[in-house]
């Protein structure tokens, strides 16, 4: 085998190795984009609370609770005015925030109804006193039943499905995810350094980086576009309007981060490609 042929085979082998490394770099950046997207959304109480604020979740939950309490009040011989006045005076915002924060901190997601019961009973006693419904007209046992049933309404209004099941997992996975992000960044940095430092012609490092970033761009784009076009989250069958609006906002927001990463990867990929083309052209012209 001639010396020229050996050099060509060696060059082809190096090219193949660098392309493979570019593929692994793209894979690592894609995984990194997924992990970071999940870390700042699914594993963040701030993201959940922001989604609730965006969809006016607190107001919707209060309105839904008011409707249920109104039906309960009618069944107990009370007017709808009582349910309206009570829900207008009771602030659900703090209770919902505490519930969400307890979920993300790994604490118990059981909803404490003590404060609600006390305020409901106080409002109920005030209503009965004002309307002269005392003594035999409203029995104590009936009042206790009404308070307990109202507490169930309150619990169902605040409770988010599967929170109690997922709470421990979300809390325990936060640190491993942070470590994973750091490890992936280190690996990506090492591969990038190898692509640059081991290349005889440094400008080729930009070419391989452009391959990696453009491939990562395609991965994020395909996933985000597939989810967007499927409309899967709009088709979810959820019991209440408040939860439906919240979950659509919540899950669509996650994939917004995929679009952000895709845009960033595209920009860097094009920058590296044009840098390679410019340096390559300059090298060719110099010879």
**Predicted pLDDT at 247:** 87
pLDDT > 90? residue 259: yes
**Predicted pLDDT at 178:** 93
**Predicted pLDDT at 181:** 96
Distance (Å, whole) CA 216 – CA 210: 10
What are the domain boundaries of the chain? 3-49+168-286, 59-163
How does pLDDT run across 86-126, given as a tens digit for each residue? 888 888 898 999 888 888 887 766 788 889 999 999 988 88
Distance (Å, whole) CA 227 – CA 252: 9
Out of 70-74, 170-174, 230-234, 253-257, which region has the weakest mean confidence (pLDDT)? 230-234
User: Which tokens is 257 given?
Assistant: 């981060």
Distance (Å, whole) CA 86 – CA 81: 9
pLDDT > 90? residue 256: yes
**Predicted pLDDT at 135:** 44
Closest-CA residue to 52 (of 271, 247, 185, 216): 247
The answer to whether 51 and 233 are in contact (CB under 8 A) is: no
**Predicted pLDDT at 8:** 58
Q: What pTM was estimated for this model as a whole? A: 0.82
Question: Binning pLDDT at 50, 70 and 90, where does residue 13 land?
Answer: confident
**Predicted pLDDT at 138:** 55
**Predicted pLDDT at 136:** 37
The answer to whether 219 and 45 are in contact (CB under 8 A) is: no
How does pLDDT run across 201-216, given as a tens digit for each residue? 667 788 889 999 999 9
**Predicted pLDDT at 230:** 82
Distance (Å, whole) CA 195 – CA 201: 10
Distance (Å, whole) CA 32 – CA 265: 12
């Amino acid at each position: 085998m001639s010396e020229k042929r050996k050099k060509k085979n060696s060059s082809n082998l190096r090219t193949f190795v660098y392309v493979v490394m570019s593929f692994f770099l793209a894979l690592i950046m894609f995984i990194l984009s997924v992990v970071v997207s999940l870390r700042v959304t699914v594993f963040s109480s701030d993201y959940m609370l922001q989604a609730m604020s965006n969809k006016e979740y607190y107001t919707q939950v209060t309105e839904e609770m008011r409707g249920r309490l109104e039906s309960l009040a009618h069944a107990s011989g009370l007017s709808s005015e009582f349910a309206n006045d009570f829900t207008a005076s009771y602030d659900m915002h703090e209770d919902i925030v505490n519930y969400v924060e307890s979920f993300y901190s790994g604490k118990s997601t059981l909803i404490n109804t003590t404060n609600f019961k006390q305020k409901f009973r106080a409002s109920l006693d005030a209503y009965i006193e004002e309307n002269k419904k005392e003594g035999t007209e409203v029995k104590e046992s009936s009042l206790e039943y009404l308070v307990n049933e109202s507490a169930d309404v309150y619990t169902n209004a605040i409770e988010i499905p599967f929170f109690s099941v997922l709470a421990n997992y979300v809390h325990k996975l936060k640190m491993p995810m942070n470590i994973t992000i750091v490890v992936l960044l280190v690996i990506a940095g090492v591969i990038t350094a190898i692509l640059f430092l081991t290349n005889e012609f440094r400008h080729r490092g930009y070419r391989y980086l452009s391959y990696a970033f453009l491939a990562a761009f395609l991965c994020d784009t395909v996933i985000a576009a597939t989810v967007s076009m499927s409309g899967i989250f709009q088709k979810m069958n959820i019991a209440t309007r408040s939860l439906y609006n919240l979950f659509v906002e919540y899950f669509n927001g996650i994939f917004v981060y995929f679009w952000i990463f895709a845009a960033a990867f595209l920009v860097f990929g094009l920058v590296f490609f044009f840098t390679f083309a410019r340096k390559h052209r300059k090298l060719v012209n110099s010879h």
